[in-house]
Chains A and B, each alone.
Chain A
Amino acid sequence: MSTSNDGSLTPRSQHASNCFDDLLDSIIADVASECHRIARLGLDRSLEAEEEELRLSQLSDSTRGAAGGEGSSKHGVDIFGQSHPAVASDIFECMNCGRPIVAGRFAPHLEKCMGKGRNARAKATRSTTVTRSRHSRGSPVSVYAPYSTSAQRAPNGTAGGVSEDPSDYNIEEQ
């Protein structure tokens, strides 16, 4: 490919060529050193065989809490070595209806609790605000529209809670 080694090379040109080879050798050593570093430090993702990563993450699954190198946490191990179950199991109270709910089931519960868009009951969202304001004790919320269905949810015996628009309330009770 290169034509530098033809027979007519003078000794002086040879020196220049040698210098060039020296420079090139240094640069080759640089590249080799850098690639060696990348290989040893595991910085090149493509160098890790897929099987190796899989093995590591399986190891972390079997021995609970063992940190699996760069294994993804969806196999159950986070950076502290703890593994979490796929479905959250904590129980807390729904802030809408007050029932104890398993955290993993919270989203579907909210859908039913707050009324989905599709399978909606006849309520609109405004009435939900009304309902909530009636539940909370004496919160000064301006009532928008006195829909008839809203009052059915409010228990009759909420003493001291209903301070807004008693006239509406009384009408519904009939």
Chain B
Amino acid sequence: MAKSSAFMASHWFFALRGSITRPPTPDGDEGPQTEPSLREIINIKLIESGEKEKLMELLRQRLIECGWRDDMKSLCRAYARKKGRNNVTVDDLIHVITPKGRASVPDSVKAELLQRIKSFLMSASLW
């Protein structure tokens, strides 16, 4: 009985191995994809340098200061009240907030952030 269980175990093991013996993902080959677009390069540089994090913090803070965040939260509350508190999903709320949110960012905040982004791009010689 010990023999047969060992056989079963090894059989199962080989069955598992079958799934990990496929050819490795080609890494040098980018396939049908073109080289990363400029947009992606910018994104990568932003993240790698830590600038994206700083910009995010700055934007978050400015939006809190100007009351934008509270406005969005009250929109969410009103929607949740209407829909029933247990029926809301995150996607729902995102779709509720996004149009109004994008439109109601104060111009000064937007200008400040754009200025920072542009100066970063210039310093990273991506401009």
- B18, chain A: closest CB distance, angstroms: 40
B52 neighbours in A (Cβ, 8 Å)? 23
Partner of B102, one of A18, A24, A36, A42: A24
For B85, what are the chain A residues with a Cβ–Cβ distance below 8 Å? 39-40, 42, 47-48
Interface segment out of the listed A9-17, A63-71, A80-88, A149-157: A9-17
Chain A interface size, as a band, is: 35 or more
CA distance A48 to B110 in the complex (A): 36
Which secondary structure dominates chain A's binding surface? helix
Q: Check A16 against B101 for contact (C-beta < 8 Å).
A: no
A20 contacts chain B at the CB level, 8 A cutoff: yes
Stretch from B8-16, B19-27, B88-96 at the A interface: B88-96
How many residue pairs, one in A and one in B, have C-beta atoms under 8 Å apart? 105
Interface assignment of A8: CB less than 8 Å from any CB of chain B: no
Say if the beta carbon of A33 comes within 8 Å of chain B.
Answer: yes
Residue of A29, A36, A44 ringed by the most chain B CB atoms within 10 A: A36
User: Given contacts A15-B121, A20-B117, A33-B90, is CB(A1)–CB(B77) below 8 Å?
Assistant: no
State the CA gap A23–B105 with chains docked (Å). 12
22 contacts between A and B (CB under 8 A): A2-B103, A3-B107, A4-B114, A12-B121, A13-B114, A16-B114, A16-B117, A16-B118, A18-B39, A19-B117, A21-B102, A28-B72, A28-B97, A31-B76, A32-B90, A32-B93, A33-B90, A36-B89, A40-B88, A44-B80, A47-B85, A48-B85
Measured CB to CB, the residues of A under 8 A from B are 1-4, 12-13, 15-36, 39-40, 42, 44, 46-48
